[in-house]
Amino acid sequence: MIPAVVVAIDGPSASGKSTVARRVAERLPDFVYVDSGALYRLVTVAAMQAGVAPEDGPVVRRFLDALPLEYIVRDRVVVYRVGGREAGPELRTQAVNENVSLFAALAPVRERVVGWLRGLTRFGSLVMEGRDIGEVVFPGAACKFYLNASPEERARRRHRELEGRVAPDDGGLRQVDESLRRRDRIDSGRAVAPLRIPAGSAVIDSTGLTIDQVVEVVLLQVRQVPGLVSNG
Ligand code: DC
């Protein structure tokens, strides 16, 4: 069996890493795309539904032990299910945005999610995006990228994404900006696996670049990996 190749794409919220990672996976035959943030979001939704508070360590552990999590691959994307139900739009509500950093900062949550993510190589080669993929989950990844963009550009991107859901005025943009900065502060300041540039990663500032340009930069480097066959 050919060993799984991992492409790790890390970076802060709204740095463009989700879209880039998804497109990179589409362009690489046989690679599967993994959104690791969705797993932290899923734990958060399930915990909130179960009335589990992030402060309550032993309850959090018991809750994680009992979480009926499954994965499937559909169209080369890893899809998560809890209790047979597929995770969907409920992962991206404002309440989850506000709470996910708190759950993602907990050691038992991170231990469990890291284990689940490592297990996904059973599906083959992966393009995985997140905050600690190149540093903690797959430090030996074949290719590591750290995507960034200026805080203003990230707020503008996230605001555009939310248009229709948040009033498209200055107040909306300011709110998005504050919410992103708060999340970045928690993600970068936490004791366990804080967001940082992984050793050996290529740093790409996407502020003045289109998604397609970033995808090409990533693919150029991925295609240097020995033994990787790609016709995309
Ligand atoms: O990428 P995202 O916004 O969906 O991530 C949701 C949260 O999960 C975010 O607060 C950071 C956290 N996260 C993490 O700590 N480690 C990862 N590998 C991925 C996400």
Instruction: Report which protein residue has its CA nearest ligand 1's atom 16.
Output: 131
pLDDT at site 232? 47
Flag whether 59 is in a domain: yes
Residue nearest to atom 10 of ligand 1 (CA): 101
The verdict on the CB of residue 40 being under 6 Å from ligand 1 is yes
Q: Does the residue 67 lie in any domain?
A: yes
Q: Give me the number of domains the chain comprises.
A: 1
Is the Cβ atom of 190 under 6 angstroms away from ligand 1?
no
CATH number, residue 151 = 3.40.50.300
Query: For residue 232, is it within any domain?
Result: no
Q: What is the pTM of this model?
A: 0.91
Residue 216 belongs to some domain of the structure: yes
In a domain, 231, yes or no: no
- Read off the pLDDT of residues 82-141 as tens digits, 9 standing for 90 and up: 988 998 899 999 899 889 999 999 999 999 999 999 999 999 999 999 999 999 999 999
Residue with tokens 């880039």: 20
Instruction: Give the model's pLDDT for residue 167.
Output: 46
Determine if ligand 1 sits within 6 Å of the CB of residue 145: no
Q: Is the CB of 201 under 6 A from ligand 1?
A: no
Task: Tell me how far apart the alpha carbons of residues 95 and 144 are, in angstroms, rounded to a whole number.
Answer: 31
Give the pLDDT confidence score for residue 165 in this predicted structure: 59
Would residue 10 count as lying in a domain? yes
Residue 228: inside a domain, yes or no? no
Q: pLDDT tens-digit profile of 147-185?
A: 999 988 888 888 887 775 544 445 678 888 888 888 888
What is the DSSP pairing of strand 77-82 with strand 202-205?
Answer: unpaired
Q: Whose CA is nearest to atom 1 of ligand 1?
A: 37
Tell me the two tokens of residue 83: 């209790």
pLDDT at 3 over 50: yes
Ligand 1 atom with the shortest distance to the CA of 101:
10
| Ligand 1 near 97 CB (within 6 A) | no
Going from the C-alpha of 130 to that of each of 9, 85, 154, 164, the distances in angstroms are 6, 23, 16, 26
The residue segments making up the domain with residue 178 are 6-220
Does 110 map to a domain? yes
